[in-house]
Amino acid sequence: MSAVLSFPTAQDEIISYNPATREEFGRAGCASVEEVRAAVQKSRQAFEKWKETSFKERARFVMRAREIILDELDEIARLISDESGKPIAEALSMEIAPVLDLMQYFARNAAKILKPERINIGLYATMGRTSKIIYKPLGTVGIIPAWNYPFSIPLGEAVMALMAGNAVIVKPSELTPFIGLKIGEIFEKVGLPENVLQVVTGDGRTGAALVDAGIEKIMFTGSVATGKKIAESAAKHLTSVVLELGGKDPMIVFADANLKLAAQGAIWGAFCNSGQSCSSVERLYVEESVAEEFTELIVEKTKRLNQNSGDKETTDVAAMSSERQIKIVEDHIESFRNEGAKILTGGKRNANLKGAFYEPTVISNATNEMRGMREETFGPTLPIATFKAEQEAIDLANDSDFGLTASVWTGDLEKGRRVAEKILAGTVCVNEVLYTHGIGQTPWGGFKQSGYGRTHGRHGLMELVAPQHIHVNRALLAPNAWWLPYSPLAVETFRGFARHFAGGSLRQTIKLAPQLLKRIKELRGK
Ligand code: NDP
């Protein structure tokens, strides 16, 4: 077994910065179109052997990679924190721990999930036929993640793709290339066969080259605008794409909820990762009768949050990933102000810190008409609106172009489930918020502009394989009644098919037997 890692040798460079200090973190290559093509070619060769490995062999590599991550736990957490800006606590709790769990789950269960499946083909079985589905790997899977969960998202998807028998190329975000390269290094250390997993650093052009390389699958996580470009470009090659895009996720708090718990949930849901989660709480709807009490709780708790650089263990809210992202937050806060909402706390950069820090911000008097309630903010902001009745809350939550996740908070679980089922989002939690991307067993993905396709769970694994139907006819004595040539007898038999066989009832179909025998006799004579 030899090395897996592919460091681009391009002359172009991308520069990564520590968002907390604004200092240069490092420089990585920016792979050109030719280099991406070369990586794809190597990937195709590697795939030919990798697809023949057993699930057990694949699982061994994945479980060894887990061990490496555990051995280097603090070092990796620090790398994630330094390059992406997030608190070390979240690097551990929201990236490393969940992906370790995902790794063990798919290492242990991929074989079971992708086991060949016998299909019940109803009356066709009475004619001596059998059908089964086998799941074949696709080939090369390209993973293009965003910068906000730069370790867990690409690593989780890579593990699933590898377990399914695919070769993988990861193109990390230009903001977090070294976290991407770390994923390659981990698999290099476990001796994954060469080029089965490659990491190709670069910017949007490198990502575009990967999409344009005619590979078998693209797993994309990012903005709606880039997602649409990718879908368009992938269509030229009929490359299938999973799009995990933006969100504007609603949280509905009913008056009968445990308000203290809901307030804690809201604060974590809105401010963890500085609000830069696709499933961040970006719209909070609270029942009017408790709105004042609930808002006070939120403001009081928000004011107590400790904002500092991510490397400190006591940091609650750290730096944002980039200047570009802070500017979007500033723009939305400005528009909230201009449209009549009230900023209750925050609403500005943190002047005591020199990096990309925006204070956790709570906004009241928000309405769905405001721009900040419609466009994705992706920052530490929590706009609060009110409602009077259950149906109004549902309507407000659904009044969005996005549909990634949502949450409903109530002491009445039946009401919680009822409301959850009426919300148009890929995941709806009752008395929980945001964290379900961390459950590797459950599907992740959105409705509407939040994208299509799924990652994680059985549905996510199925995105990474092609189901192949193997159909066998064990009755080798007679031709099929529907074969050529046709005749009046044939047409009469087919009428019988439509009337009896197609009803799915054996008793009805038996009525066809004399006709069928005549027809088969007719065909035998031809
Ligand atoms: P972008 O769409 O800007 O970038 C996403 C990735 O695509 C990056 O790796 C980027 O590379 C790459 N890229 C950029 N242009 C192209 C192109 N033309 N062809 C191929 N690849 C390209 O998104 P952000 O990185 O800003 O991520 C934030 C977005 O991601 C938010 O909308 C957020 O909601 C969403 N997201 C969705 C999740 C989900 O599960 N639904 C999870 C996490 C985030 P580079 O960075 O080098 O330009």
Domain boundaries, given as residue ranges, for the chain: 24-245+458-467, 249-439, 477-524
Alpha-carbon distance of 386 to 377, in angstroms, equals 20
Six token digits for residue 469: 């139907």
Counting atoms of ligand 1 from 1, which one is nearest the CA of 229?
A: 18
179 CB near ligand 1 (under 6 Å): no
**Among the listed residues 4, 29, 28, the one whose alpha carbon sits nearest the alpha carbon of residue 16:** 28
How far, in Å, CA of 362 to CA of 385, rounded?
Answer: 11
Candidates 174, 217, 278: which one to mutate for ligand 1, based on the most atoms within 8 Å of Cβ? 278
- Contact by Cβ (8 Å): 358, 377: no
- Rg of the chain on CA atoms, in Å: 27
DSSP 192: P
Q: What pLDDT is stored for residue 1 in this prediction? A: 35
Per-residue pLDDT of the chain (526 residues; tens, 9 = 90+): 333 444 444 458 999 999 999 999 999 999 999 999 999 999 999 999 999 999 999 999 999 999 999 999 999 999 999 999 999 999 999 999 999 999 999 999 999 999 999 999 999 999 999 999 999 999 999 999 999 999 999 999 999 999 999 999 999 999 999 999 999 999 999 999 999 999 999 999 999 999 999 999 999 999 999 999 999 999 999 999 999 999 999 999 999 999 999 999 999 999 999 999 999 999 999 999 999 999 999 999 999 999 999 999 999 999 999 999 999 999 999 999 999 999 999 999 999 998 999 999 999 999 999 999 999 999 999 999 999 999 999 999 999 999 999 999 999 999 999 999 999 999 999 999 999 999 999 999 999 999 999 999 999 999 999 999 999 999 888 899 999 999 999 999 999 999 999 999 999 999 999 999 999 999 997 7
Taking the C-alpha atoms of residue 443 and residue 439, their distance in angstroms, rounded to an integer, is 9
Cβ of 174 less than 6 Å from ligand 1: yes
Q: How far apart are alpha carbons 32 and 9 in whole angstroms?
A: 9
| Residues with catalytic function | 244, 278
Pocket test for ligand 1, best of 173, 248, 325 (most atoms within 8 A of CB): 173
Query: What are the tokens at 289?
Result: 């009768």
Query: Which atom of ligand 1 lies at the shortest distance from residue 174's CA?
Result: 47
The answer to whether 257 and 409 are in contact (CB under 8 A) is yes
Instruction: Provide the CATH number for the domain formed by 249-439 in this structure.
Output: 3.40.309.10
- Asked whether 393 lines ligand 1 (CB < 6 A), one says no
Residue pair 465/474 in contact (Cβ under 8 Å)? The answer is no
pLDDT at 12: 85
The pLDDT, as a whole number, for residue 526 is: 76
End-to-end CA distance of the chain: 60
Torsional sign, CA 235, 238, 239, 245:
positive
Q: Are 31 and 206 in contact (CB under 8 A)?
A: yes
Q: Crossing angle of helices 33-50/204-211, nearest 10°? A: 50
Does ligand 1 come within 6 angstroms of the Cβ of 212?
A: no
- Predicted local distance difference test score (pLDDT) of residue 11: 56
Pocket test for ligand 1, best of 200, 226, 229, 437 (most atoms within 8 A of CB): 226
Q: Does ligand 1 have an atom closer than 6 angstroms to the CB of 244?
A: yes
- Looking only at the bridges linking them, the beta strands covering 447-448 and 24-29 are unpaired
List, in sequence order, the alpha helices (H) in 439-500: 457-462, 488-499
Q: How far apart are CA 314 and CA 301, in angstroms?
A: 15
445 lines ligand 1 (CB under 6 A): no
From the CA of 233, give the closest atom in ligand 1.
Answer: 19
Distance 3 CA to ligand 1 centre (A): 28
**In the CATH hierarchy, which top-level class contains the domain 24-245+458-467?**
alpha beta
Is the Cβ–Cβ distance between 420 and 399 less than 8 Å?
no
Residue owning tokens 């940091």: 315
Whether 222 lines ligand 1, by a CB cut-off of 6 Å, is yes
Cβ contacts of 392 within 8 Å, gap of 6 or more: none
Atom 25 of ligand 1: nearest residue by CA position? 146
| Ligand 1 atom nearest to CA at 227 | 2
- Joined tokens for residue 424: 């148009």
* Ramachandran angles phi, psi of 269, nearest 5°: -60, -30
pTM for this entry: 0.96
Q: What is the DSSP letter of 464?
A: T
Q: The tokens 């405001």 sit on which residue?
A: 370
